[in-house]
Amino acid sequence: MRQLTVQSLLSLVLVAALAAAQNPPIGLAMAQGSFRVNNSEVWGNTTLLEGTTIETARVASELHLNAGAQLGLAAASRGKLHRDRMILERGVGELRNTTSYWIEARSLRVFSAAPGASARVAFGKENRVLVAALNGPVRVTTEKGLVVANIAAGKTLVFDPQVPGAAPPMRVTGRLERKDGHFLLTDETTNVTVELVGVGLDKEVGNRIEVTGVLDPTAKPFAPATQVVKLVKLARLAAVPPPGGWTALSAGAKGAIIAGIVVGTTVGILVAADVILKEEKKPVSP
């Protein structure tokens, strides 16, 4: 009987070791209080595995990944952790100290675009996605890697991905330039440079214009452009943009439309969404 017991224990150890080898830890989650991990309450800290879901309540959580990425998950937030990304499902997430890891929200991927840069991502009204560049440049792309926005430090943009299959045409605004025979325009809202192809562009070089067009995914853009847009409609605008730019996708406001994603500016850098650890007092058992 004892031999069977020892064999059983050895089998359990081997099974546990095999499971750990197949799904090794990817990092550590910490909080000054409680949070939920895969729907189970945890106090203080826990090991993160591939696919772990972290849900915070009254306090924020700090997430340190073995690859070096550091993340924050604000109170009342939820995210699913993977080796290469955190899928933000609710609330506010913050990305620090990495350019290879990203936060994903509503099919958008948010990266720090330079070493030391931090990005903050939050869900706003009508499930729009707010992205703030805290102390360095931040890049936002689609799932396929198409650049949607380059956000400068201290700026915040709001994104509204449209329903698949019903994406509107591209719309960008900026001053038209010509370089080596190519027409380039850097959008004022997203800071994304596109190459324009169409009739009549030569007459608009140097002018500030609003362009409606169709993305050509098969064409290779001329650097520094990241995409080619076939011109459908062009309108010349006033030389100077409105003070403060276009804001918050409100009624009548104009923003960029890139890859079926409506992009507008918003005020501030998500000040109300600071990811900080706050002490939570554990209730005393009677």
If asked whether residues 74 and 133 sit together in one domain, one would say yes
Q: Please indicate, yes or no, if residue 2 is contained in any of the structural domains.
A: no
Q: Would you say residue 211 has pLDDT above 60? A: yes
Based on the fold, state whether residues 52 and 90 are members of the same structural domain: yes
Looking at residue 165, what is its pLDDT? Answer: 62
Query: pTM here?
Result: 0.83
Q: What is the pLDDT of residues 53-64, one digit of tens each?
A: 999 999 999 999
Rounded Cα gap, residues 121 and 189, in angstroms? 18
Q: Which of 174, 256, 185, 255 is nearest to 208 (CA)?
A: 174
Q: Are residues 113 and 34 in the same domain?
A: yes
Identify whether 13 is part of a domain: no
Q: Looking at residue 252, what is its pLDDT? A: 39
Domain range holding 243?
A: 170-258
Helix and strand numbers (H, E) in the chain are 1, 22
Do residues 106 and 126 make contact, with C-beta atoms less than 8 angstroms apart? no
Q: Are residues 181 and 242 in the same domain?
A: yes
Q: Is residue 180 part of a domain?
A: yes
Please report whether residue 271 resides in a domain: no
83 belongs to a structural domain: yes
What per-residue confidence (pLDDT) applies to 84?
Answer: 94
Same domain, 192 and 217: yes
Reported as a single tens digit per residue, the pLDDT across 139-198 is: 999 998 999 999 999 999 999 987 666 556 899 999 999 999 999 999 999 999 999 999
pLDDT at 219 over 80: yes
Q: In this structure, is residue 110 part of a structural domain?
A: yes
**Together in a domain, 122 and 177:** no
Domain boundary among 110, 127, 153: 153
Which domain CATH number covers 134? 2.60.120
pLDDT reported for residue 17:
39
